[in-house]
Structures are given as structure tokens and as C-alpha cells.
Structure 1
């Protein structure tokens, strides 16, 4: 059998090997952690050239570090971008991009259903500095088209969206925004490049809370930005180096490199277990509604299948009896952990209206599909029968 030597390397192969040769590091199989804040210059002239951008090299840890470089090269490849940049958190990644590309008077169009702190950042923080923020229902692209104008600098959305898993047509939004030359920014935290690559559908920039699935173990905070080499250079110089200083530590880069090695395998397991959980919830008489991209009852099932290779590990659902019943249900769980965040090995459940999305007002939540009784479940890597047993006993105990 002839070896297929000309085909591109697979996702997990790149996640494990790209950008690192053990032979160049005394044979160390795992990339070393460069725990240094500054770097020595071979000569004074070399240092001056680096500061002027005329020579490649490392200057100071706030801008770049060799451990970060390996992670950035791997994330750029996995997302299909030219370059990537790490940041101290997902919010730092978003802020670094926005503070780079926006000026007073610029307009941004944002999907109305996003992570609560991101929503507050756009509607309460950026507006203080003269940025005009418009909210739209991105599942209805015509509402975005109505708002796009000559001052539109960027559009921002999540897909699937936090917390109710609405799926947005990336290609259609990119087409609409492209008419105005707006930068299309997609938060790909829920899907990760293992399941969805927004740049392939026309997005310009991808951001992540690397805290979630990319890390995968609930032991770090981090953010990622992926885009063109020119965009990443701008964001690193302006948004990261000057505006936020939100550098990701070399140790957290090391932990993220570890997480990437199992990302594809973990997402396969998260998705398969979530599918089984979704079937249980859909068939249970005490569940009033469920939102999961893998179910045929999901309103955007066909779009989700076109954009995502698997439906992911997150489920949103509401019980008969609303918020009070949801709280009672959460308190009856024993294996499933009551905690915010997602993408960990542990199965986590939380109540968005009182937790991650409390920054939305009551009327805003109602308008944007975040019901007071909505629960968000992040299905972990425990044996799926144990997850199912815990959920079933809690439902039957109500």
C-alpha cells in the first residue's frame, strides 16, 4: 500500500506536533515553559532592530513568549487562519480586538444573545467611549442587513450562542457585512475548531474563551484570537501590548498545549454523551423544552449540520414549573456539579438568568430567548450511564 505523503496532516496530528521539534530542545518531548519576563539581546543593535520591527525575536513577555508561539501556531492552523494571538481570558481576547479596530463614532452590530459579560462589554463599556452598538437577531439575517451602513466597522456573534444554543448562518452574515467592509468576528468557544471553523465560512476573526473546551480541565483562564497575519499583528501591538496588557502566562500556554492534544477526542465524547442526554431530556415528561443542535426537533438542525461536524457538548432546557422547578432539580443532582463555565471533564449545570446572564435585564432576557427557567448543561466526560442516572433520578424526584 502506497503511503499518502502529500495529503495535509490531520487535526489531532497538528494539535500534537505542529511548530515543535524535540531535537531543538535537548530531546524534550513536551515543549518547555519559558518562565521569563524579558529577553536578552545578542547586541544592542539587534535589540534596536527588534523594537523597530526589522528583526524577528522576543523582546518582553507582555508581547510574546516562545511557549505562546507554539500555541499560537497550532491554533492558527486548527482554525485555518494565518496567525493567532493568546490573551489572558476570553474577555481579554474580545477586548483586545475591539480596542484595536474601533474608534469613537464607529458602529458595531452584535447578536442579541451572547455571554452575559460580553453583552455588558458591548452595551455598557464600549458605549462609554463613543462606539455605537446595535443589537440584532442574527438568526434573521435581514435584521442585520437593515442596520449595516457606511459606519459599520464590525459585527460580532457567537454560534452556537450562549446560553440557548441558537445557531447563526456564518456565511450569510459574512456576505451581508462584507458589503460594508465590516470585520466579521465570531466567538467559536462552544464549538471549537474541532467541530466548526468560522473562517472557512467567511468570518474575518475568530475568538475563544480558551478557558473552556480548549483547556478542557477547568484549571486555567485564557483567550485566543485567530485571523490574518496583518490583523493579528495589529491586535498584538495595539490591543494587547498597549491597551489591555492582558498577556497569557507561559504556564497557562503550557496547559493549553496539553489540552489541544486531546481536543478532537474529547469533543467526540462530549458530543456523543450530550446526544444521549438530549434524548433522555426530550422524552421526559417533566421537560417543557430543550435546545440541542443534534436533535431533529432543533429549529436550525439543518444549518447546524452544515456548519458543525458534531453538535457539541452543551444542552439548554427548561422544566415544567419554570425557575422554581429548575432550582429544585439542580439541588437534587449528586454527580452533576452546580457551577458556571463549561467544557470541563466534569458535567456542569447552571441557571443563566441568575448567574452567567444576570447582566441582562429581565425584559432583555425575555426578548432574547433567555427564559427565567432556562438551564444550561455542559455534558462532561464521565461515563454516560452515570450522567443519565443522575439526571433521571433528579427529574423523577421532583
Structure 2
């Protein structure tokens, strides 16, 4: 099936009792045993499995061309389950431009438990020089948050294979509509399903998808079920419902982002536009090779420094100044303020999640704010 068809049908089943064409929401926390004490339904307790979570995991696994998925209560919970599955002392190589929530998770919650280096993973020489005997995973994030760097997935995978190291890719910015890391050799894909999967800024979730069932994947599954950081049946239902429109929403987001990036690139008050769909992007050719679409996240820097950037944000009428991304509404934020005092993000940088409003209204709003 094509990806649009998978999005609609892979997470849905017809209820056998009512014949409802949309799956019911199963709110039960526990399930009746058989006469012999077994669980022929496959469900015992909702922390370990629930029909709505099973449906969500099934559709996401198929969208990413994986064999199985595991859903979590947030993107951070999904990422943390990967770190929790590793043996103490495992070394992680991560990108120097990375979502600050997971970077801070490593630096605070796993300090002294895991080892980690934050480097330019796209530089093969630097990458190879940081590999140790105890290196367990190379974590990549492409496009990256917030500088929109593109990592050559195949190149990193080739290096990892030489040393029997697993590659995990945060695919949140791209979604499986724009990029499918497992088909490029990655071992595991992560999403904050709060973002484009949810698509309406009204629920939280995270998900991991594996290329193969392995002992490592079973450890991650154990973290999910024993730790219990799982999404509610209601959240799973709404995520599965939102995914039905994901391919068409993402295409609309991308269309607007491409036009908005060109508008910003030609604006006299803009210093630099970071968007992999522009030929001026330093990894444009890599993006062209491994992405179906360049995504809908844009970062740009303004002439005049931090104060000018904050003035523009506060003058906008349609763009909402808020953290997060992937909703139908356009969001903008002064990213360095969100990341805290140790941020390496330029102080004049604004990060934009391009929504589905009419592009003329979005460009007019930016025009008046920068006037």
C-alpha cells in the first residue's frame, strides 16, 4: 500500500460486535481471564497492552517500514527508554545540534551512568575519532533542532556497521512522509508524536520503531511495560485518528514552508535562512537524496541581534509565540530563550513551525512585524 492508504487503514479495525467502521476506545485498565486463567484476547492489563495502543503502534510501524513500534506518553519518555535499555557505562555519540530536552536528559539524569559526546556526526573523521570500545549507539537527528542541519544517514550507518554500533534517528522534524531512516539503514527511529502525528497541539506522545526484533528491542519493550510511561487509550485513539490525515497535512505544511523560506531569504532584514529545501542550505544535496520533502520547519536569523528578534516575535498577529511544532497553526519562538543559559543557538535566531494558514496571511504577518 502507498503511504496515504497505510495512514488511513493500518491503524483501524472494524469492531466485530457492533460492526462500527471506526475502532472503539477501550478505556478498561484490566481484562477478563479465560476459564483456564489465560488471556486469549491478548490483553491482560492496559499498562502492558491496550487495543488502542496496539492500533497506534501498528500504523506507525508500517509508516516507517519497521517491524514493530512502541508508544510512550511523550517524546522524552520514548528517548529515555532507549537510554534506560543500555548497560551502565555505554558510550553514546550524539549530534552537537540536538533537541535540548534529550540532550539535557543525558547530561542530568544519565550523568555518571552513561558516557556521551556531542559532536558533528556528519564529519566522518570526527565521528570515527570519537568511537570507543564501549560505544553502543550513534544518535542522529535530521533535520536537527533548531539549526536544521541534515545528517547523511547512510554515511553514519556505514561507519556504525564497521564497529557493530546501533544507529538511532530522531525523525520528528521530518515525519515518515518526508523521510524513512529505517530504509536507509538506521536501526531505530524515534518520534515525538505530540508534533506532526498529533497535528493539533492537543495531546502528547512518543513512539519508537525498530527495523528488527532483537534482544535490545525486547529490553526497550520491557522499559515500556515495566516503567509504565505509556499513552492513555484516549490519546492513542486520537493519535491514530490524526495520522489518517498526516500525509496530506504534511504536504500542506511543506508547501507553505517552501514559499515562506523563499520570502524570508529575499527579505532585507533577514540575515540567514536555515531550511533544507533551499539550494543555499549547506546539506541541500543530502536532503535531496534522502528526503521526499524538505519538511516544514524553518529557522532564520535577523539583522540587529537578539532584541530585534524578540521585537519581531512580539509584533506578530497570526504566528503564535509558543514552544512545540507540527500543529495546524503556525508557531514561532526565540529558541535560545527556551534552551536556557548553556544554549549554543544564535541569540538572533527564530524557529518557525509553519502551519496550514493561507501563505499570503503568513507572509503579510511577517512583513508587518519586520516593518
Instruction: Tell me, yes or no, whether TM beats 0.5.
Output: yes
Q: Paired residue for 2:342, among 334, 358, 361?
A: 361
| Higher deviation after alignment, 300-309 or 120-129 | 120-129
* 1:304 corresponds to 2:287: yes
Distance 1:56 1:106, change over 3 A: farther
Structure 2 match to 1:391: 366
1:116-159 Cα shifts (integer Å, max 9, x gaps): 11110122221232x11111111212211111122111111210
Name the SS for the 2:190 alignment partner: strand
Name the SS for the 1:128 alignment partner: coil
Structure 2 match to 1:125: 109
CA distance in 1, matches of 2:120, 2:320: 32
CA distance in 2, matches of 1:349, 1:19: 32
Q: Paired residue for 1:373, among 327, 330, 348?
A: 348
Q: Could you tell me how far 1:204 is from its partner in structure 2?
A: 0.2
Structure 2 match to 1:282: 265
CA distance in 2, matches of 1:316, 1:20: 36
Q: Could you tell me how far 1:286 is from its partner in structure 2?
A: 0.3
Asked if structure 2 preserves the Cα contact closer than 8 Å seen for 1:138 and 1:168, the reply is: yes
Distance 1:311 1:26, change over 3 A: same
CA distance in 1, matches of 2:342, 2:217: 34
* 1:352 corresponds to 2:304: no
Distance 1:337 1:245, change over 3 A: same
Asked if structure 1 preserves the Cα contact closer than 8 Å seen for 2:13 and 2:22, the reply is: no
Q: Paired residue for 1:29, among 21, 40, 61?
A: 21
Structure 1: where are the runs of 5+ without partners? 1-8, 48-54
Structure 2 match to 1:224: 207
1:229-378 pair list within 5 angstroms: 229-230=213-214, 231-237=216-222, 239-242=223-226, 244-355=227-338, 357-358=339-340, 361-362=342-343, 365=344, 370-378=345-353
Count of residue pairs brought into register by the alignment: 369
Asked if structure 1 preserves the Cα contact closer than 8 Å seen for 2:15 and 2:23, the reply is: no
Name the SS for the 2:92 alignment partner: strand
Structure 2 match to 1:139: 122
1:294-315 Cα shifts (integer Å, max 9, x gaps): 1111111110111111111110
Distance 1:19 1:375, change over 3 A: closer
Q: Could you tell me how far 1:89 is from its partner in structure 2?
A: 0.2
CA distance in 2, matches of 1:146, 1:103: 22
Asked if structure 1 preserves the Cα contact closer than 8 Å seen for 2:15 and 2:22, the reply is: no
* 1:12 corresponds to 2:28: no
Asked if structure 2 preserves the Cα contact closer than 8 Å seen for 1:349 and 1:375, the reply is: yes
Q: Could you tell me how far 1:19 is from its partner in structure 2?
A: 4.9
Asked if structure 1 preserves the Cα contact closer than 8 Å seen for 2:11 and 2:240, the reply is: no
1:355-380 Cα shifts (integer Å, max 9, x gaps): 1x22x615xx1xxxx21111100100
Q: Paired residue for 1:81, among 41, 49, 66?
A: 66
Using the size of structure 1 for normalisation, the TM-score is 0.90
Distance 1:25 1:266, change over 3 A: farther
Structure 1 match to 2:38: 46
CA distance in 1, matches of 2:41, 2:180: 29
Q: Could you tell me how far 1:46 is from its partner in structure 2?
A: 1.3
1:88-99 pair list within 5 angstroms: 88-99=73-84
CA RMSD, 1 decimal = 1.4
| Higher deviation after alignment, 36-45 or 215-224 | 36-45
| Higher deviation after alignment, 246-255 or 26-35 | 26-35
CA distance in 1, matches of 2:265, 2:35: 67
